[in-house]
Homo-oligomer: A and B are copies of this chain.
Amino acid sequence: MNIRIRKAIKEDCTRMMELIYELAVYEKAAEEITVNFDHFVDAGFGDKPIWWAFVAEQTDALGKKEVQALALYYIRYSTWKGQSMYLEDLLVTEKLRGKGVGTLLFDALFTEAKEKKYTGIAWQVLDWNEPAINFYKKMDAVIFDAGWMNCTVHF
């Protein structure tokens, strides 16, 4: 597979946004994406970053490298637990799914979260997304909690 996991750099942003669109088109929700590309780059690599990411970079037979998956997180703050990592997006391009890339990204996230002394990692999964839920069930120590509703106001 020839995959290397590394921290995202500014130059990855175009390809990252392409992967984000790929998934949104698959979910028939591309029109929901209203984020501005310059804001996306600035929020990750400006003076005050508020998101961080790992990417999975594949090298093909000709030596060409391309980012094929990403895990993007921000820091949440719980008044009970302190700082933890909130995994906002984990996505793998369609042709590379089921090959363990998600596990490699999770390994990198866990290592990073422990190094930074975060108290844990949290994310959400759609309650009908059985493949994803089964994937998370195979991981150690994941606590599932279905008793919450998300409330959102968009301006």
Contact = CB atoms under 8 A, between A and B. Distances in A.
A35 interface: yes
Chain A interface residue number, banded: 35 or more
Copies of this protein in the complex: 2
Nearest to A73: B77
Contacts of A146: 149-150
B143 A124 contact: no
Interface string A120-155: 111111111000010010011111111111111111
Contacts of A150: 122, 124, 144-146, 148
A139 B79 CA distance: 25
Nearest to A113: B155
A66 B88 CA distance: 37
Interface in A70-124: 72, 74-83, 86, 88-89, 110, 113-114, 118-124
Counting from the closest, the 8 A-B pairs by CB-CB distance are: A120-B154, A51-B77, A145-B150, A35-B82, A124-B148, A122-B152, A146-B149, A74-B77
